[in-house]
Amino acid sequence: MAEQKFRIGIGYDIHELAEDRDLIIGGVKIPYEKGLLGHSDADVLVHAIIDSLLGALAMDDIGSLFPDTDDRFKNANSLSLLKLVYDKVQQEGYWINNIDTNIIAQEPKMMPYIPKMKTVLAPVLGLDITDISIKAKTKEYLDAVGKKLAIEAHSVVLLERIGG
Ligand SMILES: [Zn+2]
């Protein structure tokens, strides 16, 4: 990889809402009648962040790195996967400048949990909470997210070369 000063990455994820699952978003357990379905804990925001980091380095995406056919990642804590990926970022010689994300959910309300998410994510990403943006939106009752069948997340990250 060329040693550019900056690298930018985008990440996207969606998970279906299902009965008998915990709802974990941004490493925070949110009280709700349903949770996100997936092989791991299905933390849609953390998965989007992971893909934005991998994208910034033009690496294989989260599905290739942590395949859902691999039992090691069954019910995996997504924060520990994020930690592994941030280690890779540092090994490549980069640190995170800032990160901007969206959580798109019709229900439940995300806003009350966002400060906690930032507190959980900041040490994992080596960032101050002021360098982490998490915005919550609804889908205005449109499509699968608007019909409360799924929750999605987007992430954009800017990496800067360590040492400038
Ligand atoms: Zn996912």
Residues 82-117 pLDDT 10s: 999 999 999 999 999 999 999 999 999 999 999 999
Strand runs (DSSP E) across the chain, as ranges? 6-18, 24-25, 28-29, 35-36, 94-104, 132-137, 150-161
pLDDT tens string 142-151 = 999 999 999 9
What kind of fold does domain 6-161 have according to CATH?
60s Ribosomal Protein L30; Chain: A; (3.30.1330)
pTM equals: 0.95
What pLDDT shows up at residue 19? 97
The alpha carbon of 19 and the centre of ligand 1 are apart by a number of angstroms equal to 17
Q: What is the pLDDT confidence band of residue 1, given thresholds at 50, 70 and 90?
A: low
The alpha carbon of 2 and the centre of ligand 1 are apart by a number of angstroms equal to 29
The alpha carbon of 94 and the centre of ligand 1 are apart by a number of angstroms equal to 24
Residue type, 55: G
The alpha carbon of 47 and the centre of ligand 1 are apart by a number of angstroms equal to 5
Tell me the C-alpha to C-alpha distance, in Å, between residue 105 and each of 37, 58, 130.
15, 28, 23
The alpha carbon of 164 and the centre of ligand 1 are apart by a number of angstroms equal to 32
The domain limits of the chain are 6-161
The alpha carbon of 44 and the centre of ligand 1 are apart by a number of angstroms equal to 5
